[in-house]
Amino acid sequence: AQSVTQLGSHVSVSEGALVLLRCNYSSSVPPYLFWYVQYPNQGLQLLLKYTTGATLVKGINGFEAEFKKSETSFHLTKPSAHMSDAAEYFCAVSYPAAGNKLTFGGGTRVLVKP
Residue 36 lies near other proteins (rule: CB under 8 A)? yes
Query: β-strands 87-94, 32-38: how paired?
Result: antiparallel
Q: Confirm if 32 and 93 have CB atoms less than 8 A apart.
A: yes
Closest CA to 89 of 30, 3, 7, 31: 7
CB nearer to other proteins: pick between 43 and 114: 43
Residue 89 lies near other proteins (rule: CB under 8 A)? no
Residue 61 lies near other proteins (rule: CB under 8 A)? no
Residues that bind other proteins (CB under 8 A): 32, 34, 36, 41-46, 49, 51, 90, 94, 96, 99-107
